[in-house]
Amino acid sequence: MLTDNMEGFEQKQINYSDYENSFRRWLISQIDSEKMSFQEARDRFQLSTTEYKKIIKRWQERYS
């Protein structure tokens, strides 16, 4: 099984409160103006692959 070979890999916990407000505002402005997609933001800034849309949506509610 694939999971049998996952030793040494661990899900890195990301603390989203570590991101400064200025960064959040900038990122949301990039996404809102379609200069960057959700997936590009996820990859470029190493956001959680499972929660990135929820986090970005929450930031959009606050900073858009």
Write the pLDDT tens digit of every residue in 22-48.
Answer: 999 999 999 999 999 999 999 998 888
Contact at 8 Å (CB) between 38 and 53? yes
C-alpha to C-alpha distances, 55 to 28, 32, 35, 39, 44, nearest whole angstrom: 11, 14, 18, 12, 15
pLDDT of residue 26: 96
The average confidence (pLDDT) of the chain is 84
User: What one-letter code names the amino acid at 52?
Assistant: Y
pTM, two decimal places: 0.73
